[in-house]
Structure 1
Amino acid sequence: MKNLHRRPDFRRIREALGTGAVAGVASVVALGGLAAWTVAGYAGTPARIEVQESHVLLLVIPGSSTNAYFRIVNTGGAPDRLRSVSSPFVVSGIELTAHRMNATSGAYRERTETVSVPAYGEVDMSPFGTAVTLPAGETWRPGDRVTFTLDFERTGRVTVDAGVRPVTLGTAS
């Protein structure tokens, strides 16, 4: 005859409780991470990038570097980051740059790896902020169009045409 009143195996009970506790803690950590992700603004809509304005400065000295400026608007709920810019009209030398000042009040442009575009925000590149520095095209004339591809971390590639403009006092805005 079998013994129907078996003693409980406490070792198995402890293992089961331990496994349940680990699963419970992992769930709480995951929920906390999701809550932090939501509060930080990363949940909801993805980044939605639009380039609303763009132009390239036409310099009077052929063969020197010039700047292209873009007004980048993010209507999405997640931030994005501009990683690089390319153009079929420029073989090499295109860089993301930022305006800097040195101790003797001299201005210069410094290479930067990325340009952050905040959620529900914008970046308006300018001579006094971020820009795309590139070799000036020797055949460019005012009114010409230069195609650029902006590569974003989340959005991917966005292609735009930038108008070539002469350098004037009104160009700084």
Structure 2
Amino acid sequence: MNSLPSASSRLRRAREATGTGLVVALVSLAAIGCLSAWAGAGHAGSPAKIEVREARVLLPVMPGRNTNAYFRIVNTGGAPDRLLSVTSPAVSAAELTVHRMNEENGAFRESSGSVEVPAEGEVAMSPHGSAVTVRSDPSWRPGERVAFTLAFQRSGTITVEADVRPVTLGSAP
């Protein structure tokens, strides 16, 4: 009995090893090429860079009722971020929400928990998308400013002042 592999068996194993090695080498080269392109474009190590460029809160038709605040959040960084919460000393509760429709075409707001802000992108909150639902202060008047603090997963907190606007002007930035 011969316990050594035959020449054809050794040749087959050598071909399989060479094929596997070639695939690994090509995949590695492709990965290095993609990483080089990504780094060359300035994205390597580029954190999220968040700016809040517009902030407004609607004056409800009935004072003291729930209303919405809207923010235009811009991320000029190379990594995504997430808006986790919004607070304000001027409101008792603030909740991140999203606009939804039911089967009878009735609109309602649903808690969203958080809002994704894409890398090199923006979120423009609106009556038909994301918003911050708050209990309004009955003393608010058009033109006043209300401070809000937005807490982001990566970027920390940003405090901005939102313009109080009547509902008729509320959906326009």
Same-fold call, TM > 0.5?
Answer: yes
How much does 1:89 deviate?
Answer: 1.1
Partners of 2:56 and 2:170 within 8 A in 1: no
Partner amino acid for 2:65? S
| Shift >3 Å, 4+ stretches | none
Match of 1:57 in 2: 58
How much does 1:42 deviate?
Answer: 7.2
Match of 2:89 in 1: 88
Q: Distance in 1 between matches of 2:107 and 2:171?
A: 14
SS of the residue corresponding to residue 170 of structure 2 reads: helix
Partner amino acid for 1:89? A
Once the two structures are superposed, the pairs formed by residues 8-47 of structure 1 within 5 Å of their partners are: 43-47=44-48
Q: Distance in 2 between matches of 1:147 and 1:158?
A: 10
Tell whether 2:140 aligns with 1:140: yes
TM-score of the aligned structures, taking structure 1 as reference length? 0.74
Partner amino acid for 1:54? A
Partner amino acid for 2:85? S
Q: Distance in 2 between matches of 1:89 and 1:42?
A: 39
Q: Distance in 2 between matches of 1:63 and 1:145?
A: 16
Tell whether 2:49 aligns with 1:48: yes
Partners of 1:84 and 1:114 within 8 A in 2: yes
Match of 2:24 in 1: none
How much does 1:49 deviate?
Answer: 0.3
Aligned alpha-carbon RMSD (Å): 2.1
Match of 1:73 in 2: 74
Number of residue-to-residue matches in the alignment: 138
Unaligned runs of 5+ in 2: 1-27
Partners of 2:55 and 2:163 within 8 A in 1: yes
Partner amino acid for 2:170? T
How much does 1:171 deviate?
Answer: 2.8
How much does 1:88 deviate?
Answer: 1.1
SS of the residue corresponding to residue 160 of structure 1 reads: strand
Partners of 2:67 and 2:135 within 8 A in 1: yes
Q: Distance in 1 between matches of 2:44 and 2:108?
A: 38
SS of the residue corresponding to residue 91 of structure 2 reads: coil
Q: Distance in 2 between matches of 1:87 and 1:129?
A: 21
What's the % identity of the aligned pairs? Answer: 60
How much does 1:43 deviate?
Answer: 3.5
Match of 2:150 in 1: 150
Q: Distance in 2 between matches of 1:90 and 1:103?
A: 32
Q: Distance in 2 between matches of 1:76 and 1:117?
A: 10
Unaligned runs of 5+ in 1: 1-27
Cα deviations across residues 77-136 of structure 1 (Å, max 9, x unaligned)? 000000000001113x21000000011100000001110000000000000000000001
